[in-house]
Amino acid sequence: METVLEIKDLIISFDGFRAVNGVTTSVQKGEVRFFIGPNGAGKTTLLDAICGRVHPQHGSIIFNGDKNIMHYPEHKLVNIGIGRKFQVPSVFTSLSVYENMEVSVVKKRGIAASLFSEITEAQQEKINKVLTLVDLNNCAGKKAADLSHGQKQWLEIAMLLVQDLQLILLDEPVAGMGRRETTKTGELLRKIAQHCTVIVVEHDMEFVREFASKVTVMHEGHILDEGSVEQVQKNPKVIDVYLGRGGENCA
Ligand SMILES: Nc1ncnc2c1ncn2[C@@H]1O[C@H](COP(=O)(O)OP(=O)(O)OP(=O)(O)O)[C@@H](O)[C@H]1O
């Protein structure tokens, strides 16, 4: 199996407090990996480190075998194939779905270039393919402001996919969604994983149970357990610090 991300002995401190305290894990190509755990476990901080937002004091994060993430500024990580979606959708609400995709498809050249450049035929094809994948092809002309909450989330995922990423990081992608939209999002993640590895931070355990290929349980900055959902949910320590306390209700 091909390793996409190799995290070794990572320590991230804020004013002496270790939010991430010696995390070691690796993520394989094609995984939908979920990071779960109670509030304050360090999940978001870990995601922040993988996308270059925070700088660890110790350890390493290696992408695709030889790229040390710590050597890249946050805005350059998209160029090596890593993209992040935050919990609140950040689509351009005054633009149409298609225009949002146009802005993203040329983003690698920088915002100024993307505003003034023509979209090639190949890029148009790519946009249409991704919009079909996320089931927004019938809404291409619709203003993003008029999309449902779920559709805005899928548009933002589509805006990442069109940039040819190899790893996408999603922060609570189903927060605020109903069950139908949640299931649709899970099915979408499965499809995405066929060409792009996915890391998800999530509290919705029903969603995790159904769609995780592997789960990493974090607690107080370190990894408590890692494996299949079936495996980790039997671990008494995991039950004690998270699942037994309601899991998703810790959000
Ligand atoms: N910029 C910061 N400055 C100081 N402390 C921080 C900072 N960012 C995070 N922390 C602290 O680090 C710890 C881990 O936070 P983090 O947001 O990573 O947890 P989490 O597992 O994502 O929690 P949640 O599920 O609530 O989002 C918390 O105690 C938090 O208060």
Is 19's C-beta closer than 6 angstroms to any atom of ligand 1? yes
Tokens at 225, concatenated: 């357990």
CA–centroid distance, residue 137 to ligand 1 (Å): 37
Q: In what side-by-side order are the strands of the sheet with 222-227?
A: 82-85, 167-171, 197-201, 32-36, 214-219, 222-227
pLDDT of residue 166: 94
* Residue with CA nearest ligand 1 atom 16: 42
- Give per-residue pLDDT as tens, 15-70: 999 999 999 999 999 999 999 999 999 999 999 999 999 999 999 999 999 899 98
CA–centroid distance, residue 50 to ligand 1 (Å): 15
Taking residues 132-151, report their average pLDDT.
Answer: 95
Task: Give the structural domain span for 172.
Answer: 1-81+167-251
146 and 117 within one domain:
yes
Look at residue 87 and tell me if it is in a domain: no
pLDDT at residue 12 is higher than 80: yes
Which of the four pLDDT bands, split at 50, 70 and 90, describes residue 249? very low
ipTM: 0.96
- Give per-residue pLDDT as tens, 143-163: 999 999 999 999 999 999 999
176 and 244 within one domain:
yes
Decide which of 164, 181, 202 is a domain's last residue.
Answer: 164
pTM: 0.91
Look at residue 86 and tell me if it is in a domain: no
Count of the separate structural domains present in the chain? 2
Atom of ligand 1 nearest to the CA of 203: 25
The residue whose two tokens read 């790519």 is 126
Whole-angstrom CA distances from 176 to 17, 47, 104, 149, 223 are 31, 20, 25, 8, 27
